[in-house]
Structures are given as structure tokens and as C-alpha cells.
Amino acid sequence: MPELIPDSDLLQPPDFIQLLDEDGGRVPNPEFDRWVRDIGATELGALYDDLVVVRRLDVEATALQRQGELGLWPPLLGQEAAQIGSARALRPDDFVFSSYRENAVAYCRGVGLTDLVKMWRGSAQSGWDPASVGMAVPAIIIGAQTLHATGWALGAQFDGVDAVAVTYFGDGATSEGDVNEAMVFAASFQVPVVFFCQNNQWAISEPVGLQARVHIANRAPGFGIPALRVDGNDVLAVMAATRVALDRARSGNGPTFIEAVTYRMGPHTTADDPTRYRDPADLAAWAKRDPILRLRRLLEAEGLFTPEFEAAVAAHADAAAAELRAGCIALPDPHPLSVFDHVYTTPQATLDGQRDGYAEYLASFDSAGSTSSSTSSKGASV
């Protein structure tokens, strides 16, 4: 019998990094505590404000979809700490390549609130200028952004800068070819990229256990990429782990994989009904691990959660939600020809031809909205 690598090694989970337990108590961890030593009262308050604001924005966007103002929305409810803790660890010159659910990351990067919903309203092909905020527009193709991040990191390596690419994706994406290819390249070239996986337990309706026989974090070492497994609902642990990974990348030590263990409390998107596949008991269990609740308890324990503070955060959240709503509803419908506007940076003859053809087609509609020549669609069927 040949000697096999025992799969018991693979089934063994890596250490679970947690600095803040479910009741808001600090969990001593000398190795990781030092990475968040600078987080004092002010910073904790700011993190709490972030968490509450992005949840409020998410709820407002979900309501806007139900009211017909957005075509679709992918809620991030429950994943606030994983996104805020990591995004607040980044520098402005780092670059984020995310999926479509990282609206809290976009918020941290400085994306305008109205810009968050532009694409989901169908008002624009993309919501913002990636270069101005250091964050690409969301990848809808599952996992494609990990390749973009790896390529960007390779460029940063060539440029000799210490900026880092951070790519966000989910547990389901780790089964996609793109993510595996990206990890192969990232490891081979030792590029400065952080693979940040939010394991929210669900690939739409597919539980993570069905597609991963080992812990998600255990997949990375097979590619030669060190991995960290962190409590994704613990904003401090997420921040510490992300800082470790960023530091490794900036020091020329190559990619790091982070599995942030969290839970998607809402539907996959507003077109999904999670009650069809989710056990309510699971939901209740994860509700106790709520990321906002535990930080609030820490703040209370430290005497920082004053009524004034609570009111200020609530007012900030309500104002942000109102700004999002007003901005969303006021978005103008785009001109049909604007679809050609941002395809290339320089003029292209083929595209110009298509634009002219489309303009001509649009002009063929009379004011009543019917075509002047109705025969065009008939001939084809004969």
C-alpha cells in the first residue's frame, strides 16, 4: 500500500482566530492582539458606526428593490464585520476586486452612496470610476475578480510598489476554475494579493459542506498559499488577520488566503427565498453571533456606549439611508447611446459603426414608439 497523505490532516481545521467573543468579551491572543493594539475608544466607535451605517444602507436598498426602484439587490446582512474589518485595514493605494455583495467595502473605499445602486437600478453599466476609489466595479461572474486581482498584483510587483490587491469572493467561488487559476498564478509569481473569502455558508442555496470536504481555508495550502481562518463576525479579528496578510504582501512574501467564517442572514439576492432551503434553527444560532451586537456589548462594557453615542450613530445611519434613497430615485434614465461610452478609452472604428447603426435604428422609431418599417422581423421566419 503506497503511503498517502492522510486526509485527517486536511480535515483538521486551522486555528480559529477570534478576539471578541459572542458576548463582546475580549479573547486574549498575543499573536494577533498586537495587530489591533492601535484600536482605541475612538476607533472602536468608528467601527461600530460603520457597521450600523452599512446595515442601514443595505436594508434601505432592499426596500428600494421591493418598491420597484432597483431591479435587484444582493443583501450583505450578517457579513458587515467581515467587510468593514478588512476594508478598514486597507490603504488608499491598495486595490479591491470584489464580487457583487461587497457594498460595505465599497462604502469604506469612499464610493458615493448613490453610486452603490446605479448599476442595480439599470441607470449605468457600472456605478463608479474604479481608479478614483481603488476598487473595481463588482464582478458578477463568480470568482472572475480573483484573476483580475492577481494580474493587478503582478503589475504592482513589476512597478516595485508595495500596494496590495485584495480580492473578495465567497465560499462557492472557491470551487470555480477562475479562483483556482488565480491561486496557482499568485503562488507561482508570489504576487502581493490577499484572497479574502467570506464563507457565508451558502452558495445561493447550496450549503458549503456539499462542495468542500475540507475547511475552505485548507484549500489554499494546496496551492502553496498560507491561510488564516478567522471569525468573520468579529470585526477586530478580521482586521488583525487582514493586516497580517497585507503586511506579508507588502514585504514581498506573496499571497495569503483568509477565510472569514460568517453567515448570510438574508437571501442570496432579493429574487431568492432562503426559507426554502435554510433551517430556521441555524438562523437563530447565527443571530446570537451578530457582529454589531457583540461590538455593542464591548462598547457597553467599556462605558463607551452612551445614549449620545447611540443617537449619533442612529442619526448618521438614517441620514445615509435618506441620501441613498433620494439619490437613487433621482437618478436619470441613461440615454440609450451611452452604452457605447466607456467600452474603450480611445475611439474604435467598429464600435463607432455600431453606435451609428444603433442611433439610426433609434431614429427609425416615430414619436408613438412604433417602427416605421415593420417588415424587418418578418422575413427571418420564412
From 56-64, 76-84, 188-196, 240-248, give the range in contact with other proteins by CB under 8 A.
56-64
Contact 50, 107 (CB under 8 A): yes
**Is residue 113 at the binding interface for other proteins, with CB under 8 A as the rule?**
no
**Is residue 271 at the binding interface for other proteins, with CB under 8 A as the rule?**
yes
Least distance in Å: CB of 35 to other proteins?
39
**297, burial (CB in 10 Å: exposed 0-12, middle 13-18, buried 19+):** middle
Question: Which of 91, 277, 342, 361 is the catalytic position?
Answer: 277
From 46-54, 77-85, 121-129, 250-258, give the range in contact with other proteins by CB under 8 A.
121-129
277 is catalytic: yes
Axis crossing angle, helix 113-121 with helix 41-66, rounded to the nearest 10: 30
From 82-90, 96-104, 158-166, 373-381, give the range in contact with other proteins by CB under 8 A.
373-381
Which ranges of 134-276 does DSSP label H, i.e. alpha helix?
Answer: 144-159, 177-189, 208-211, 235-250
**Is residue 282 at the binding interface for other proteins, with CB under 8 A as the rule?**
no
**Is residue 21 at the binding interface for other proteins, with CB under 8 A as the rule?**
no
**Is residue 63 at the binding interface for other proteins, with CB under 8 A as the rule?**
yes
Contact 186, 193 (CB under 8 A): yes
Cα 85–chain centre separation: 12
Whole-number Å distance between alpha carbons of 141 and 146: 11
Least distance in Å: CB of 140 to other proteins?
13
**Is residue 222 at the binding interface for other proteins, with CB under 8 A as the rule?**
no
Contact 293, 25 (CB under 8 A): no
Least distance in Å: CB of 170 to other proteins?
19
Contact 274, 268 (CB under 8 A): yes
The set of residues, in sequence order, having a beta carbon less than 8 Å from that of 21 and lying 6+ positions away, is: 27, 294
Q: What is the DSSP string of 246-303?
A: HHHHHTT---EEEEEE----S-SSTT--GGGT--HHHHHHHHTT-HHHHHHHHHHHTT
Q: What is the DSSP letter of 365?
A: B
268 is catalytic: yes
From 107-115, 138-146, 173-181, 319-327, give the range in contact with other proteins by CB under 8 A.
319-327
**Is residue 112 at the binding interface for other proteins, with CB under 8 A as the rule?**
no
Query: What's the length of the chain?
Result: 382
Which of 6, 30, 40, 68 is in the footprint of other proteins by CB under 8 A?
A: 68
Which of 4, 5, 330, 349 is in the footprint of other proteins by CB under 8 A?
A: 330
**Is residue 206 at the binding interface for other proteins, with CB under 8 A as the rule?**
no
**Is residue 382 at the binding interface for other proteins, with CB under 8 A as the rule?**
yes
> Annotated catalytic sites, by residue?
264, 268, 277
> Where does this chain bind other proteins (CB under 8 A)?
59-60, 63, 65-72, 121-123, 267, 269-273, 275-276, 318-319, 322-323, 325-326, 329-330, 379-382
